[in-house]
């Protein structure tokens, strides 16, 4: 969950390119054994992507972990910077990072599982599952609208009274019920289905629907049927005290008014993340989730295709990032959870997340060719997007 709105070397090389040093990954052979052709040189250890990340870390512009895989095999894995500056704990492959809005993917899969079981219907109204909403909302907003950010609801933190209410929540149950109550009092900014607006509130309500139809807490359901089902042994929701105390959990850092690094944990008012944001995971767990989802192993094949196909056409930016990395999408769609993009003839699904307090994340999977690109950072800023953009360019061009 965002607290301030935001959208948006050779293998085995040793040395401290940043405060946390570098953790080398295991490379696949130059020619893989899956008949998908050679790995582009720019993606191999010592290649263009590796050098780019190292340079950003050396300039103290990137702190975190990145993992590039093809068909489940590691091509490049790197970790830089500090998970906890005060205790001098470095980031590593096992470091847990707050995911921000990438968490929405877990919520979308939970809803898809329940739809597959005929317990949820995408075209059903919000009022079919949750009570207390005005009739215009209860009857007009559907599960489809919530999944595609077309409900008219926006950011939960912008709701009147949110910060005061949040200060009183001390449990998962209070957090879920408290946010739902605030959304009940909100007025959508447009009629459902007539526009697109990124909606933390919508994904929170999806989590509330999961609770209603299963009789389980959202957190218990996702832990059992998403995290455990995907073999994500390190992934979990953490309370803020657990985040502060854990040695393998990255603290979020941002520059304060004096230009010094500040620990952003103190800026988070909630006791725990929500269906809209801030589960914690590693690059390896996130990559496994993306690979299994793309392979149709978390949902039946037909339901996988339904979840990952385009629902709402978006307008591609049309230009690469200012630093020159990345290639523009030929087509861009909102899917049921992720964004879907056609990039140089390849379909990819992706999601990003972050906030100005020190979280920046990027998830991208190419199911046809088996690529997975995971970048998790505990620095605020746009470097994560430029890293994933360069990986996208190298995958698309094969150079």
Name the residues annotated as catalytic.
101
Q: What do you get for the CA distance between the two ends of the chain, in Å?
A: 36
Strand bridging mode 64-70 / 89-90: unpaired
CA 115, CA 144: separation in Å to the nearest integer? 11
What CA dihedral angle connects 285, 287, 288 and 294, to 10 degrees?
150
Residues 6+ apart with CB under 8 A from 260: none
Nearest to 305 by CA among 150, 125, 112: 112
Q: Which two tokens stand for residue 53?
A: 């990340």
Strand bridging mode 339-343 / 331-334: antiparallel
Beta bridge partners of 327: none
CA 288, CA 349: separation in Å to the nearest integer? 14
CA 285, CA 302: separation in Å to the nearest integer? 24
For the beta carbon of residue 263, count every other beta carbon within 10 angstroms: 18
């Amino acid at each position: 969950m965002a607290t301030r709105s935001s959208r948006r070397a050779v293998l085995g090389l040793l040395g401290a390119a940043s405060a946390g040093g570098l953790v080398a990954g295991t490379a696949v052979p130059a020619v893989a054994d899956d008949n998908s052709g050679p790995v582009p040189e720019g993606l191999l250890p010592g290649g263009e992507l590796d050098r780019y990340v190292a340079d950003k870390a050396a300039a103290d512009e990137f702190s975190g972990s990145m993992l590039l895989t093809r068909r489940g095999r590691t091509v490049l894995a790197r970790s830089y910077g500090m998970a906890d500056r005060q205790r001098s704990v470095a980031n590593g492959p096992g470091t847990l990072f707050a995911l921000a809005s990438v968490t929405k993917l877990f919520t979308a899969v939970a809803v898809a599982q329940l739809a597959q079981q005929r317990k949820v219907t995408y075209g059903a109204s919000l009022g079919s599952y949750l009570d207390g909403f005005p009739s215009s909302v209860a009857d007009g907003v559907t599960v489809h609208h919530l999944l595609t950010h077309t409900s008219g609801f926006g950011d939960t933190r912008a709701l009147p009274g949110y910060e005061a209410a949040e200060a009183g929540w001390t449990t998962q149950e209070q957090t879920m019920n408290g946010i739902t109550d605030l959304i009940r009092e909100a007025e959508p900014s447009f009629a459902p289905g007539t526009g697109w607006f990124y909606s933390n509130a919508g994904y929170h309500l999806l989590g509330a629907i999961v609770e209603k139809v299963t009789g389980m807490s959202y957190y218990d359901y996702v832990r059992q049927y998403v995290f455990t089902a995907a073999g994500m042994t390190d992934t979990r929701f953490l309370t803020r005290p657990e985040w502060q105390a854990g040695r393998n959990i990255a603290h979020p850092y941002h520059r304060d008014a004096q230009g010094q690094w500040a620990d952003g944990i103190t800026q988070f008012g909630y006791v725990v993340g929500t269906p809209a944001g801030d589960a914690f995971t590693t690059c390896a767990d996130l990559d496994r989730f993306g690979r299994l989802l793309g392979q149709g192993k978390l949902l039946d094949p037909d339901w996988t295709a339904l979840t990952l196909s385009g629902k709402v056409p978006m307008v591609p930016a049309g230009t690469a990032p200012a630093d020159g990395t990345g290639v523009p999408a030929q087509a861009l769609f909102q899917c049921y959870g992720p964004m879907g993009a056609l990039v140089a003839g390849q379909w990819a699904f992706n999601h990003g997340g972050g906030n100005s307090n020190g979280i920046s994340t990027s998830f991208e999977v190419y199911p046809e060719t088996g690529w997975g690109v995971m970048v998790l950072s505990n620095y605020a800023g746009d470097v994560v997007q430029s890293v994933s953009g360069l990986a996208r360019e190298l995958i698309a061009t094969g150079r």
